[in-house]
Amino acid sequence: MVNRKKLLLRTVARYCYILYRLFSLESVFSCSVIFTFYRAAFGLRQALISNEDRFYTYCNKIFAGWDFCITDGNAAKLKQSSLMYELKVGSADERIISTYQKHSRPMPSL
Identify whether 33 is part of a domain: yes
Identify whether 23 is part of a domain: yes
d(CA 45, CA 50): 9
Identify whether 83 is part of a domain: no
The continuous run of DSSP H or E covering 92 comes out as helix 73-103
Which range of residues forms the domain containing residue 20?
A: 1-48
Q: What is the pLDDT along the chain (110 residues), one digit of tens a residue?
A: 556 666 666 666 566 777 888 899 999 999 999 999 998 888 888 777 766 666 677 777 777 777 777 788 888 888 888 889 988 988 888 888 888 877 776 655 54
Identify whether 29 is part of a domain: yes
Identify whether 86 is part of a domain: no
Q: Answer whether 0.75 is exceeded by the pTM.
A: no
* CB burial string 77-106: b at 16+ within 10 A, e below: eeeeeeeeeeeeeeeeeeeeeeeeeeeeee
Structural domain total, the chain: 1
